[in-house]
Amino acid sequence: MAEVTLIKAINDALATEMTRDPSVCVLGEDVGLDGGVFRATEGLLKRFGPGRVVDTPLNEVGIVGMSIGMAMNGLRPVAEIEFSDFIYPAFDQIVSEMSKMRYRSAGQFTAAVVLRAPSGGGVRGGHYHSQSPEAYYIHTAGLVVVMPSTPADAKGLLSSAIRGEDPVIFLEPKALYRTVKGEVPQGEYLVPLGVGRIVRPGDDLTLIAWGAMVPVAEKAAAAAASEGVGVEIIDPRTLWPLDIEMIESSVRRTGRAVVLHEAPRTCGFGAEISALIQERCFLHLKAPVGRVTGFDTPFPYALEKSYLPDPERTLRAIRASMAF
């Protein structure tokens, strides 16, 4: 296995799936000659040609609308939105059309579109390049929402998303694009959607984190271990459908849970996970479910480090749960 960055793993998944299936095509702003704003599609135009790697105008509504039509006519479009913050002009196409196509046509049509979008902060991108919008899409029935945290998961989950029959919002934590490396299997490689990953085993507290917060969780868990607290970290990988059975099994054993995400706190996905734990594990809980999140403000350019959850804030939440 080769050791590559997360962005290289995404490029590998696209090339592998385009080689396997001639109906897979890539479209988006600057995905051709420039290889995308983060170079995720680098080299694909030369390898697969302009018929399958399509540079589009700056028009997110058009990108998503065209992708839906392509999918309904038998293609497998993988569309790149340069930043997840730019996806909102296409919000109606996503939540009213793409998500409902299979249901409203009683299965006569599908919209098997994968929308790739760099998500989250940590790269000093400011207000319009740093948002974490996963909750909007998890709230929309009919969409699968994925966020990997390792190169191997990025390749395996993206390949599974491309092969599926449901529309997928594939959120890529851009802070990890070139800051994490890992071994990635060569050739075809699949990670099933809807199955979480135990990042680190532990017996005292369950810490649920995804995307760029997984490395933060690992640092906090290491610090907690030095204080004698065993933290089990769970990365859901697919945010919806959620592997709630894995979380439930862990919390029933540890009796304590903290949810960590960088999106704002109110109505963030941590609130839903907290409610599910409450419903399923109430009699096993030794402390209230804790949350460590971004703040209920626009993403602040100058105060990015203060906004984003860090290992110290996470460790404080772990200590509070253990002391309850």
CA-angle at 231, arms to 230 and 237, nearest 5°:
150
Q: Convert the pLDDT of each residue in 266-314 to its tens digit.
A: 999 999 999 999 999 999 999 999 999 999 999 998 899 999 999 999 9
SS3 319: helix
Mean pLDDT of 65-89: 96
Q: Is 129 a catalytic residue?
A: yes
Mean pLDDT of 174-202: 97
- Nearby residues of 177 by Cβ (< 8 Å), 6 or more positions away: 5, 6, 7, 38, 118
Mean pLDDT of 133-155: 98
Q: In the structure, what pLDDT confidence band is assigned to residue 59 with cuts at 50, 70 and 90?
A: very high
How many beta carbons lie within 10 A of that of residue 268, not counting itself?
22
Residue 248 has pLDDT above 90, yes or no: yes
Q: What percent of the chain has pLDDT over 70?
A: 100
Mean pLDDT of 54-68: 96
Candidates 129, 139, 261, 284; catalytic one? 129
Q: Which of 117-126, 172-181, 217-226, 270-279 has the lowest mean pLDDT?
A: 117-126
Residue 258 has pLDDT above 90, yes or no: yes
Q: In the structure, what pLDDT confidence band is assigned to residue 2 with cuts at 50, 70 and 90?
A: confident
Structure tokens at 162: 């491309």
Name the average pLDDT for the chain. 97
pLDDT at 126: 86
Half-sphere exposure of 151 (CA within 13 A, CB side): 22
pLDDT at 172: 98
Q: Convert the pLDDT of each residue in 195-217 to its tens digit.
A: 999 999 999 999 999 999 999 99
Are 269 and 286 in contact by the 8 Å Cβ rule? The answer is no
Mean pLDDT of 229-242: 98
Alpha-carbon distance values, 52 to 26, 62, 158, 254 (Å): 6, 17, 18, 49
Give dist(CA 311, CA 315) in Å, integer: 6
More confident site: 122 or 259: 259
Q: Convert the pLDDT of each residue in 217-234 to its tens digit.
A: 999 999 999 999 999 999
Q: In the structure, what pLDDT confidence band is assigned to residue 1 with cuts at 50, 70 and 90?
A: confident
Q: What percent of the chain has pLDDT over 90?
A: 96
Residue 123 has pLDDT above 90, yes or no: no
One-character DSSP codes across 191-254 = --TT--EEEE--SSEEEEE-TTHHHHHHHHHHHHHHTT--EEEEE-SEEES--HHHHHHHHHHH
pLDDT at 92: 96
How many beta carbons lie within 10 A of that of residue 47, not counting itself?
11
Mean pLDDT of 19-37: 97
Alpha-carbon distance values, 135 to 263, 266, 274 (Å): 8, 10, 14
pLDDT at 279: 98
pLDDT at 124: 87
SS3 97: helix
pLDDT at 127: 85
Q: In the structure, what pLDDT confidence band is assigned to residue 164 with cuts at 50, 70 and 90?
A: very high
Enter the pTM of the model. 0.97
